[in-house]
Structure 1
Amino acid sequence: MKATLKPALTDWFRQREGEMLDLLEALVNTDSGSYDKAGVDQVGSILESALRNADVVTSRHRLLNNGDCISGKIDGEHRANKHVLLLGHMDTVFPSGTASRRAFHIDGDVAYGPGVADMKAGLVMNLFVARAFAELGGNRLPLHILFTGDEEIASPASRRLTQEMAKGARAVFNAEPGRPTGNVVTGRKGALFMDFEVRGVAAHAGVSPELGASAIEALARKTIALHALSNRSNGISTNVGTVSGGLSVNTVADFACGQLDVRFPDNIDRSALRQQIIDIIEEESPTCTCGKVVREGLFLPLLTTAMTMDLLAHYQTAAREVGFTVEGEYTGGAADSGLTSAVGAPTLCAVGPVGGHVHTDREYCMLASIVPRAQALALAIATLDPD
């Protein structure tokens, strides 16, 4: 890295802190739940426009049901060498209307709002890092950026593109929120999402209950059995997070449904665990009820490899250069970093601005972390060995 580039990069971000906050406010105040294609596409258009204004070559990867993906590329000084991938997702877990009810607001040095940390602050950081290199140069390696729109539901439409863009990468930096400790993430559990339905037999609950078979009772039994698979000693956790069903209070329910979340470390036999779950869901208990899985989503674990730790050490050096220290953590939360790790790309996750209470109405982002995290990421990219 040229001696003059470091101060130029760090000063560049300081001078644009106000612009970064303006963009963060605009993104947080745009609903972009995973199933809100129009909202995710609106966020994508904002980011796409900002990249194009910085003369970054962009592509829109159109999807039928999920938000379109946006990618960009900046040539490096060593064009033939491996690239660096900046990864982030535009979708949130919040339904349409949340942004108007809980709009972006700042209290002291803390910003609040739906998706402010997970991960709209990370989107802002990645965008401005790309802009910095587009304007100043200094990236020895080609820099690629990808914004996806379905990560919160296990990336059913974007996972192939994510893995294609990660293949052959020198490094992948995923802008998930920095931990509340300020640390980054070097390992994650995998996750399995399952939507399942249960069928029973309807009957009048007062006149002829013996003629019915309650789908709600069956779902309750399955929930208890599924939760019994949780095991702290081996790192497996299971949670039926939503349930619904029934027609009326005086009818034996002939239908119910639920959504299951399963977390597992990389040393678990995923196929065997999945079969245990299927057996529970499909079990006929009570008699004349039956269940089936109607949708599955899979997050791969982020493996803690020697390459991961080397990348952490490199990032730590850059962080110290701009005034903060950071360690690596393991977490039960899943992310697209597992997809990039699975194709052999050295991956560091949660390099985004620091935040917490994600997926809740208390979600926050520490504003004082936005500029330093962007500076550290930019310096880490600028000083990566091309080989």
Structure 2
Amino acid sequence: MSATTEARVLDWLAGRQDEMLVALEAMVNTDGGSYDKAGVDAVGEQVRAFFSAHGIPVETVPGSRFGDCIRATLDAGEGAEANEGNARRNILLMGHRDTVFPKGEPERRPFKVENGIATGPGVADMKAGLVMNMFVMAAFKAVGGAPGPMVALFTGDEEIGSPEGRPVIETEARRARVVFNSEPGRANGGVVTGRKGGVFMAVEIEGRAAHSGGNFEQGISAIGELAEKVRAIHALTDLKRGITLNVGLVSGGQSVNTVAPHAQLQIDLRYVEPGDRDEIMGRIHEIVAKSFVPGTRAEMTIRGEFLPLTQTPAAARVFEMYREAASEAGLSITGDFSGGCADSGFTAAMGAPTLCAVGPVGGKAHSPEEYLEVASMVPRAQALARAVLRLDRAGL
């Protein structure tokens, strides 16, 4: 692509901050918790309406329980379609529409901008990234300069492990030339080049009820078993290897004067190396199968899972190319590692060179203090557009 094409794309984006904020306000003020399919799909309708207004084709991959996947597409710009090999593959921009917040949160904390800081549920994680992807796609549509076919994917269930979105993401990753996941940029302005994998599990424990005073000896305490399992599971943590186990939720029992007939614990496993997953899961299964309190039994269910984002040589080239492109927008970029999980792990595992957290800068996600630096929206969009235009420089 020519320098003229790049300049035209950047100029088109340069004056769009106010329009971006209008789109972002509408998204933030729409309910969109992961389990609120209607709300997540309402945000999807806003995405669809934007692309329709800009003449960009959109298709929907329906979700049965969670938000639909929205897929917008652009053909390659003039001249790019004649390129051979990898240039024919898709440039994938990715993001999720769901948030972690309960229904009604936008009414309690609506979108607001004060002193250059935007707040509201999901403002950074990751509705600002969605808006950025929308406008980058619109810029290439307006200018006609994409160096290859482009796809923008908007999923609806990332915050709960993408149970329905994952196969859609993996299908896109198989035909992707490169993946940019627009999770929020780090507070220091960095992007994410590596993430931990995660497995989220629930363990149901059964014991036997008995009156705690009248016939205590006939009871089998599920809570007693839970306590032993928690201790054993936490002992698997190995900080030097980046492996952490956290039992974050426990429940159980019938009444204070009843030996507990049932209990539940929920486990969060995080790991760095892909090979560590099976080892630790095997040890967890052993703990679940063992009855520390004779007569109890337990069953474990995996409720969600993310794969780690590991940096391949191709992904490292993408980062270096993005860092150079961002520097021309006045941004100083570092490549950071995050213990948090994201859909970018799925694309990386499929072999697609992946860079994460290229969205506008924000922080304190999943909390009432979540914020977005408004002034980062246009420069980060321009950095992404530059990176898209310079894929050949990274040998991609």
* Mapped partners of 1:239, 1:105: distance in 2: 35
Write out aligned runs for 1:214-233 (5 A).
214-233=221-240
- The residue that corresponds to 2:137 in the other structure is 130
1:305 aligns to 2:312 (yes or no) = yes
Partner of 2:193: 186
Partner residue of 1:202? Answer: 209
**Distance change (3 Å), C-alpha of 1:352 and 1:296:** same
Query: Which one of the candidate residues 208, 211, 221 is aligned to 2:218?
Result: 211
CA offset digits 1:160-192 (Å, max 9, x no partner) = 111111113221000011111111011111111
Offset, 1:17: 0.7
Q: CA offset at residue 267 of structure 1? A: 5.1
**For residues 32 and 204 of structure 1, what CA distance do their matches in structure 2 show?**
45
Q: State yes or no: 1:24 paired with 2:24.
A: yes
Structure 2 unpaired stretches of 5+: 83-87
Correspondence for 2:89 = 82
C-alpha contact (below 8 Å) 2:189/2:331 kept by paired residues: no
Cα 1:108–1:226 shift into 2, 3 Å: same
Give the structure 2 partner of residue 373 of structure 1. 380
CA gap of 1:211–1:101, structure 2 versus 1, over 3 A, is farther
Shift of 1:126: 0.7
Q: For residue 367 of structure 2, what is the aligned residue in structure 1?
A: 360
Deviation at 1:23, TM superposition (A): 1.4
CA RMSD of aligned residues (A): 1.6
Counterpart for residue 52 of structure 1 = 52
Provide the secondary structure at the position in 2 that maps to 1:206.
coil
Deviations 1:48-99 (A, max 9, x none): 1211211111111011111110001100032361220001011112222222
Which of these residues, 99, 102, 106, is aligned with residue 106 of structure 2? 99
- Residue type of the alignment partner of 1:3: A
1:177 aligns with 2:179: no
Change (3 A) 1:93 1:282: farther
Moved over 6 A (4+): none
The TM-score with structure 2 as length reference comes to 0.93
**CA–CA distance in 1 between the matches of 2:290 and 2:311?**
37
Counterpart in the other structure of 2:33: 33
Q: Which amino acid letter does the alignment assign opposite residue 47 of structure 2?
A: L
Cα offset, 1:228, TM superposition: 1.4
Q: Distance in 2 between matches of 1:315 and 1:282?
A: 48
Q: Tell me, what secondary structure is at the counterpart of 2:3?
A: coil
For the residues of structure 1 that align with 2:189 and 2:213, how far apart are their CA atoms? 58
- When structure 1 is superposed on structure 2, of 41-50 and 266-275 the one drifting more is 266-275
Matched ranges for 1:265-284 at <5 A: 265-266=272-273, 268-284=275-291
Moved more, 37-46 or 259-268: 259-268
Label 1:98 to 1:216 Cα distance change in 2 as closer, same or farther (>3 A): farther
Map of 2:15 onto structure 1 = 15
SS at match of 1:170: strand
**Unmatched runs of 5 consecutive residues or more in structure 1:** none
Letter in 2 for 1:23: A
TM superposition shift of 1:105: 2.0
Q: What residue in structure 1 maps to residue 345 of structure 2?
A: 338
Pairs aligned (count): 387
Task: Provide the secondary structure at the position in 1 that maps to 2:240.
Answer: coil
Choose which of 235, 238, 257 in structure 1 pairs with 2:242: 235
Does residue 327 of structure 2 align to residue 325 of structure 1?
A: no
The match for 1:116 among 113, 123, 126 is 123
Counterparts of 1:219 and 1:95 in 2: how far apart (Å)? Answer: 29
CA–CA separation in structure 2 for the residues paired with 1:137 and 1:248: 67
Deviations 1:283-304 (A, max 9, x none): 2122222211133322111111
Q: Which amino acid aligns with 1:277?
A: I
TM-score (normalizing by structure 1): 0.95
